[in-house]
Structure 1
């Protein structure tokens, strides 16, 4: 089942062409990794898909019923109130979604995101990894079917990255689709069912990680990416 289909997406900032004719689909119950170097257009593409920015061209078809009510979004900027505790943030964001979060739901999301012991801690006093987990918890508070995460492990230590990766898998195992951006090829290879390579605003390759690695006769995704971006007009 398709949740979303984008065709020929375009975005410009003045003379800068950030997104160039991108075509993509998002499917039910998958983990989709959108990868590429800094400045490739990953975050802008995500913002176009969720309607945060207006596109300059192309179309987006939404097949998920009540799309805006059924998505959770974590952008790179902090999405919580630093002066409120973890629990207060979750209750407040629940109210934004017109959802009265009861104690059982609150305890469940705290446990899932490994924030139980920090429930009464101000968000500003959390570690970087805890703040990332709080941001993800907020995206899940209204139980969306489709979750967008923009570089959820950026600037984290290896242990915190592993915790976020495990959380993404758990969210997907609950029947949700997760779309996340990253420039960490190893990370994407570990958790994504399907990947999209973006470079200079274009999709240069997409598919299942293991199949792509085998087809292009490389040892890992990083080697594949280097191979792809070094060629002009490569198709995959």
Structure 2
């Protein structure tokens, strides 16, 4: 078990955004965290990776220096202006005290489909290329646990396929991947486990196929509509 969280709570302006969440992240799984915008997904994940502090609750990690073994790709990519894709990767590797050869950096660029633009200033890359560079940065120190925030958003179909292939390859290497997505077809293709959060609570979790059978729906999109938007649930609050 990599992470175990018990009774996580977080409020902003006296409004509770995360309401007593209990969760576990196990080794070697691909966990998709889904739910409406503002449901508390990002806040929960930011607490887990140490970007925010919970108001209450307990988090247990598999080792003390866990941050050195976590890779994170956020929506806002932290590129250095004036440095090209290659130089950004090399610099971020140094932050993790990784002395990588030029060949090793180029290999990562090839894996993420960026080798041909390695000498282009990161700020001048397309949106999809910047997303792939952010994922490269998250992987450059060979982490055991990887968090990807909507890794294929704004990517064209070919680029999405490349990222899907990369996630599957990471899974084959026994890496643990946690990602968020609003694309239920993508979640169905990649996830070994799904966790649905709505209004600051986990409302469903488990194997995608098993969850669909349990709730008598044929696919994850129907499950999402039934649990997070339909029925008796009120999702008008947008946090």
TM class, shorter-length:
over 0.9
SS, match of residue 93 in structure 1: helix
What does 1:181-192 align with in structure 2 at a 5 Å threshold?
181-192=180-191
Distance 1:64 1:177 in 2: 15
Q: How many residues align?
A: 232
Distance 2:159 2:128 in 1: 5
Q: Which moved more, 1:187-196 or 1:80-89?
A: 80-89
Q: Is the 8 A contact 2:192 2:207 kept in 1?
A: yes
Aligned twin of 1:67? 66
Distance 1:39 1:154 in 2: 17
Aligned twin of 2:134? 135
How far did residue 65 of structure 1 move? 5.5
Distance 1:79 1:172 in 2: 25
Task: Give TM-score, length-normalised by structure 1.
Answer: 0.93
Q: Is the 8 A contact 1:10 1:57 kept in 2?
A: yes
Q: Is the 8 A contact 1:35 1:184 kept in 2?
A: no
What does 1:32-43 align with in structure 2 at a 5 Å threshold?
32-43=31-42
Runs of 4+ in 1 over 4 A off after TM superposition: none
Aligned twin of 1:53? 52
> 1:156-192 deviations in whole A, cap 9, x for unaligned?
3333333222222222222211101122222111101
> 1:62-89 deviations in whole A, cap 9, x for unaligned?
0145201100111111122242111000
Q: Is the 8 A contact 1:4 1:64 kept in 2?
A: no
> 1:121-166 deviations in whole A, cap 9, x for unaligned?
1112212221111001001111110011112222333333332222
What does 1:110-149 align with in structure 2 at a 5 Å threshold?
110-149=109-148
Distance 2:7 2:231 in 1: 22
Distance 2:93 2:219 in 1: 41
> 1:68-116 deviations in whole A, cap 9, x for unaligned?
1100111111122242111000010011111111123112211211111
Aligned twin of 1:29? 28
Task: Give TM-score, length-normalised by structure 2.
Answer: 0.92
Note the aligned Cα RMSD (angstroms): 1.5
Distance 1:232 1:12 in 2: 24
